[in-house]
Amino acid sequence: MKKSFEKLFKKFTLKMFKLTGSQRLYLLFLNIGTKLFYNVNNQINYDSINKIYWLKHAGLFLLGVRQPYIYYSKKQFYDRCLNIFCQRYKPVKGAVIIDVGAGNGLELCFFAEMIGENGILYAIEANPESYNLLKLLKQKNNFESANPFNAAISDKTGTLWMELSDNYRTGRTNEHKKGVEVNSYSMDDFVKNHNITKIDFLKVNIEGAEFEMVDGMKNTIGIIDNIAISCHDFLNARDENITSKVKTFLISNGFEVYQRSTGDQVLDSWIYGTRKQ
């Protein structure tokens, strides 16, 4: 019954916006919907300067989106992070985290809150549009521990190109000058450039480029304690077996490796590694 009312409400809200063209009225109905159906502490604001909608919870900016939606909550976002990335490690206060493929910032609040003011988060995103949202989110919440970078991580330092699409999750880098030019770094060079001596957790979600990435982190792997990498074999984008390469790399460098078998190809793509004591 609740879902039926929700669908009707969403259709009514969109129809009212198209008929009136009133942004204020549209936001009023969006806020009624998100509070009524999801959480009373939710709030949606429109940012006319950046032309995005902010999904908020009790004053915390959770995410900036081009198209608003009411079906969200802070708990929903955080539970997603725990379920997908943190099967073998949950971030603690003061931790150093590198998030490669940070997207538009869906995980930024989670990581920043978990590590606190004394932790450090390096949020790396190659897509310039997603990076701008990531940077804005950091600024809106004044997360001093978060450090966004517009860069790609690969097997070597140089230049790559990012093919842009409507879905930021499917953007891929290439060497064929297709798309937007972006600086590329090996993980070893990135770590050296930023004087990083210890990494408590490395999270990687880069749409198949993890195959090259592991070739550029032969030194960095020695300072990592926990790792979670999404291996995109299911995209059928290349002939190489990314999962096998990542597992072999982690095991040969002293990690215990874990992979789920849920039947969900996205969830099951994640490889988790914990350094053996």
pLDDT by residue (tens digit) across 200-217?
999 999 877 888 899 999
Question: Is 62 in the same domain as 93?
Answer: no
Question: Is 91 in the same domain as 43?
Answer: no
Whole-structure pTM value? 0.89
Question: Is 54 in the same domain as 153?
Answer: no
Question: Is 128 in the same domain as 225?
Answer: yes
Cβ-proximal residues to 34 (8 Å cutoff; 6+ apart), any chain: 42, 43, 44, 70, 71, 72
- pLDDT, average across residues 154-161: 87
Query: Which of 37, 57, 72 is at the close of a domain?
Result: 72
Residue 235 is predicted with a pLDDT of 63
The tens digit of pLDDT for each residue in 15-65 reads 777 777 788 888 998 999 899 888 999 999 999 999 999 999 999 999 999
Query: Which of 23, 44, 72 is at the close of a domain?
Result: 72
Residue 170 is predicted with a pLDDT of 47
Work out the burial of residue 7: count CB atoms within 10 Å of its CB; fewer than 13 is exposed, 13-18 middle, 19 or more buried: exposed
Cβ atoms within 10 Å of 184's Cβ, excluding its own: 25
Name the pairing type of β-strands 226-230 and 255-259: unpaired
The tens digit of pLDDT for each residue in 86-133 reads 999 999 999 999 999 999 999 999 999 999 999 999 999 999 999 999
Distance CA 163, CA 160 (A): 10
Distance CA 270, CA 262 (A): 11
Q: Any idea what the CATH number is for the domain that residue 227 is in?
A: 3.40.50.150
Place 168 in a pLDDT band, splitting at 50, 70 and 90. Answer: very low
Query: Which of 43, 72, 101 is at the close of a domain?
Result: 72
Question: Is 186 in the same domain as 207?
Answer: yes
Distance CA 120, CA 112 (A): 8
In terms of residue numbers, what domain contains 51? 2-72
Q: How far is CA 32 from CA 10, 39, 80, 252, 263, in A?
A: 11, 10, 24, 54, 37
Question: Is 42 in the same domain as 128?
Answer: no
